[in-house]
Amino acid sequence: MEKDEMYRVMNANPALHLATVENGEPRVRAVFLYRADEEGIIFHIGTFKEMYAQISKDPKVEMCFNDPVKGIQIRVRGKLEEIDDNAFKDKIAETPGREFLRK
């Protein structure tokens, strides 16, 4: 599968599962994708979440996207980087469906 097709599958199926590690044990939960493209795979989590603390301690993760209609899974692993750009964070919060981020 070509990279552009993988991005299309990811963006069309924005619920992904993210695996982190805490005290040597895996932790998996669903998160909501903002976008996937050549700039990266971008999603958001609250700094008050346990997941945030786990990523801060060990930014190596694996994520899994699933397209149930096509029967495709895409697994991606790597090291996360936090985006510290308030204008970009505001742009994400203004995206339809993410009104809860403005509270």
HSE at residue 1, side-chain half, CA atoms within 13 A, is 13
CB of 45 closer than 8 Å to CB of 29: no
- CATH number (domain holding residue 31): 2.30.110.10
Q: Mind listing the pLDDT tens digit of every residue in the chain (103 residues)?
A: 899 999 999 999 999 999 999 999 999 999 999 999 999 999 988 888 999 999 999 999 999 999 999 999 999 999 999 988 888 777 777 777 766 666 6
What's the pTM? 0.84
Q: Which domain covers residue 89, as residue numbers?
A: 3-102
**Domain total for the chain?**
1
